[in-house]
Amino acid sequence: MMICNLLIIMVAFLAASVLGDYQSYLLSPNYYSGTCDGVEDIVREITWNRVAANYTLPAKLIRLHFHDCFVRGCDGSILLDSTANNPAEKEAIPNLSLGGFDVIDEIKKALELKCPRTVSCADIVALAARDAVSYQFGTPMWTVLTGRKDGNISRKSEVLLNLPSPFSNFSTLNQNFVNKGLNARDLVVLSGAHTIGVGHCNLFSNRLYNFTGKGDQDPSLNRDYAAELKTKCPSLAATSAVYMDPITPEEFDTNYYVALKRNEGLFQSDAALLNDTSASSFVELLINPSVFLSEFRRSIVRMGNVGVLTGQSGEIRLNCSVVNS
């Protein structure tokens, strides 16, 4: 009897913690059922076709989702073009190497044909990010909650204030995440997206050549790795791109954390994750692929909920790069 009660309590607790993760959200797992059945199949088919022909797209698309969510919430504002009197988010410095816009446009076009004025650009970004990363696994790796509406504002001036910088220390990065309702755990887990894609030399070459302004190297950077990076970024002014995960740069896996533990994190913001005791022990746990995947599922859903517009707020944009007229 007691064991039975205990079981019930445990099951109830587990259910509450799972549901709790979703219940606080304004979005839902089957938002388009009845209004655009098959939406997820269409997004997946187009995304997988594009990724099959271009391996750089998973990194582009998941970064697009991140940049969308951290500036004005996940409202598709990253997709808007500048207008005569308003430079858009796209124009800001961290837009360097943003990409995948054409994939979003191709999906939008197909969805406007199938179910006009129904699926938001913000939801397309979230779905395409999931599908692009999932291509490697042949199956969707996390649930995307949908029902986001599109915003009608995109300002270049808001980007630097909201996006974390690759030069930041742990406490500043943590604050960037807390400002979005996320936490240190999300910071460590979502940084794991740096298991794919590239970073440009100018964002870390200070660590190689002039860390404290005395022509020195960052002592927290692995010396052999630094030597290798110097061949790819021959001077402070170099602008080429380097893979962020030196072990398996194109696989979505946990080698980002393996490299990080060897002091081979590319940016100061990566290395900073070792500079906080509990973050650093969490990094250790995330080397286990099943721990990483279950944590990533949870954190990316939390990120996808940041500042969303729902119901009567926002619109379903007809063209992802311009607000409806």
Residue 63 is a binding residue for ligand HEM (CB under 6 A): yes
Of these partners, ligand NAG, ligand HEM, none, which one is at the site of residue 66 (CB under 5 to 8 Å by kind)?
Answer: ligand HEM
Q: Which is nearer to ligand NAG, 104 or 293 (CB)?
A: 104
Among the listed ranges 41-49, 54-62, 285-293, 305-313, the one in contact with ligand HEM (CB under 6 A) is 54-62
Q: How far is CA 171 from CA 66, 132, 193, 281, in A?
A: 20, 31, 20, 16
Place of tokens 């080698």: 255
Q: Which is nearer to ligand HEM, 54 or 97 (CB)?
A: 97
**Does the annotation list 71 as a binding residue?**
yes
Nearest-5° Cα angle at 278, 272 to 284 = 80
Residue 200 is a binding residue for ligand HEM (CB under 6 A): yes
DSSP string, 83-98: BTTB--GGGSGGGTT-
Q: Which is nearer to ligand NAG, 143 or 168 (CB)?
A: 168
DSSP string, 141-209: -SPPPB--BB-S---GGGHHHHSPPTT--HHHHHHHHHTTT--HHHHHHHGGGGGSSEEEGGGTTHHHH
Residue 160 is a binding residue for ligand HEM (CB under 6 A): no
Residue 156 is a binding residue for ligand HEM (CB under 6 A): no
Chain residues in the site for ligand NAG (CB under 6 A): 54, 56-57, 60, 81, 90-91, 95, 98-100, 109, 152, 169, 171-172, 210, 213, 220, 236, 268, 271-272, 275, 313-314, 319, 321-323
Q: Which is nearer to ligand HEM, 271 or 323 (CB)?
A: 271
Q: Which residue is nearest to ligand HEM (CB)?
A: 197
Rounded CA separation 152/178 (Å): 25
For the range 313-316, what are the long-range contacts, defined as Cβ-Cβ under 8 Å and sequence gap of 24 or more? 313/149, 314/75, 314/120, 314/148, 314/149, 314/150, 314/151, 314/152, 315/149, 315/150, 315/152, 316/117, 316/118, 316/119, 316/120, 316/149, 316/150
Of these partners, ligand NAG, ligand HEM, none, which one is at the site of residue 187 (CB under 5 to 8 Å by kind)?
Answer: ligand HEM
Rounded CA separation 217/81 (Å): 39
Catalytic residue among 60, 65, 67, 149: 67
**Does the annotation list 41 as a binding residue?**
no
Residue 198 is a binding residue for ligand HEM (CB under 6 A): yes
**Does the annotation list 159 as a binding residue?**
no
Q: Which is nearer to ligand HEM, 62 or 301 (CB)?
A: 62
Q: How far is CA 226 from CA 60, 100, 162, in A?
A: 25, 30, 30
Is residue 67 annotated as a catalytic residue, yes or no?
A: yes
Which residues are part of a known binding site for substrate?
Answer: 164
Which residues are part of a known binding site?
Answer: 68, 71, 73, 75, 77, 89, 164, 194-195, 245, 248, 253
Residue numbers of the site for ligand HEM (CB under 6 A)?
59-60, 62-63, 66, 96-97, 164-166, 173, 187, 190-191, 193-194, 196-200, 203, 267, 269
Active site residues: 67
